[in-house]
Amino acid sequence: MNIRAAVLRATGAARPYADSLPLSIETVRLDPPGPDEVLVSVKAAGLCHSDLSVIDGNRPRPLPMALGHEAAGVVEAVGQGVDDLKPGDRVVMVFMPSCRHCAPCEAGRPALCEPGAAANGKGELLAGGRRLHDATQDLNHHLGCSAFAEKAVVSRRSLVRVPDDLPFQHAALFGCAVLTGVGAVMNTAAVQPGQSVAVVGLGGVGLASVMGALAAGASTVVAVDLSDDKLALARSFGDVATVNAADADAVDQVRTLTAGGADVVLEMAGSALALDAAWRMTKRGGTTVTAGLPPPDAALSVNVVQLVAEARALKGSYIGDADPERDVPRYVDLFRQGRLPVDRLLTRTIPLDQINAAFDELADGRTVRTVVTF
């Protein structure tokens, strides 16, 4: 079948993207679903910094590639062997498919699935190969999803069923921003009631972390960012203190607000400088978690004596150490209880044709989550 999709053919386009048009809206061919695959009619797809980092070249991926990885839609058809989803089911896409058989999957860490990571790196689906084509060549899949498109064929292991009354534009956010941000709080850091938490970087993932910290029962939550608008949004979630990262004494302010340093500090800005600040905001015996993805050559210098003598922990978190089949329903329940106001992350919805200009807004920090709707 033929579908419309946003295709990236080269990285490093000049800004503004509204003029250079790095993403071309093309009619491409989509194969039917193979064994253990599902055809999804995409209804909503969020713009994430992980997409932007492919466009600007900071996260090299095989090209040409149909972008988009944070999405929700409706099952249209299922391939052989798929017996737990049916046409009409509402689903969220997850950007790390899990085979359930490799060592990390069997150890309960599907976010580290080895075949899934290998397939994502090659631009293939979990079963191997590509299902998207133009007139002359195959198109690579973005993280097994390629969701900036009218329809997508994905692995069954890239989907989680969600309630039929969950709005698509909100459901999409659970596949990346919420899984990553809330998961970093609840899974990676395992924040306990009464602990203090600081979050550095208030994009969609960082703001989801602020929500997660409140839902986990943190006694003190501090949000840190350069944008006064995003700081105000963080305060609207509940009892949240804020610090502008541009302040010369930003680290000291956080340490004062948390009585000497936070128990847990989460870096969500994708910056080595932000991670260094997060490290310095963390108390003795505390944990610093990073889920940001800076350029591949970014590095952090840590004082090893401090690491040991202060019994500190520095942890990376990929997709929030999530088990999507477990965590997406749990986070949806928290949303429906009013404890995770995920709908507040949505800045606006746009048609596919406006996607390049919307990435300018994301790059400038003017939006939290813009969602393409179909």
Q: Is the pLDDT of residue 80 over 90?
A: yes
pLDDT digits (tens, 9 = 90+) for 302-333: 999 999 999 999 999 999 999 999 999 999 99
d(CA 24, CA 66): 10
Beta pairing partners, 315: 289
Q: Which residues of 237-263 are buried (b: 16+ CB within 10 A; e: fewer)?
A: beebbbbebeeeebbebbbebbeebbb
Three-state secondary structure readout of 98-132? CCCCCHHHHCCCHHHCHHHHHHHHHCCCCCCCCCE
Query: Is the CB of residue 348 less than 8 Å from the CB of residue 373?
Result: no
Question: CA–CA separation, 257 vs 51, rounded Å?
Answer: 34
From residue 244, give the alpha-carbon distance in Å to each of 92, 122, 237, 254: 34, 39, 17, 10
Beta bridge partners of 39: 77, 153
pLDDT, tens digit, 9 for 90 and up, residues 163-175:
999 999 999 999 9
* Parallel, antiparallel or unpaired: strands 159-161 and 90-93: antiparallel
Which amino acid makes up residue 333? D
Distance CA 278, CA 262 (A): 9
Nearest CA to 100 among 84, 111, 90?
A: 111
Check whether 296 has a pLDDT greater than 90.
no
pLDDT score of 295: 82
pLDDT band at 293 (very low <50, low <70, confident <90, very high): confident
Peptide bond into 33 cis (omega under 30): no
pLDDT in tens, 324-366: 999 999 999 999 999 999 999 999 999 999 999 999 999 999 9
Q: What distance in Å separates the CA atoms of residue 164 and residue 236, rounded to the nearest whole number?
A: 28
Residue 10 has pLDDT above 90, yes or no: yes
pLDDT tens digits for 126-153?
A: 999 999 999 999 999 999 999 999 999 9
Interacting residues of 101 by C-beta distance below 8 A, sequence separation 6+: none
Confidence of residue 176 (pLDDT cuts 50, 70, 90): very high
Q: Is the pLDDT of residue 48 over 90?
A: yes
Residue-wise pLDDT tens digits, 208-266 = 999 999 999 999 999 999 999 999 999 999 999 999 999 999 999 999 999 999 999 99
Quickly state the pLDDT bin for 294 (edges 50, 70, 90).
confident
Mean pLDDT of 197-215: 98
Question: Is the pLDDT reported for residue 9 higher than 90?
Answer: yes
Mean pLDDT taken over the chain:
97
DSSP string, 265-312: EEE-S--HHHHHHHHHHEEEEEEEEE-----TT------HHHHHHTT-
Query: Is residue 297 over pLDDT 90?
Result: no
- Report the pLDDT averaged over residues 78-103: 97
Q: What is the pLDDT of residues 325-334, one digit of tens each?
A: 999 999 999 9
Residue listed under structure tokens 């004082």? 303
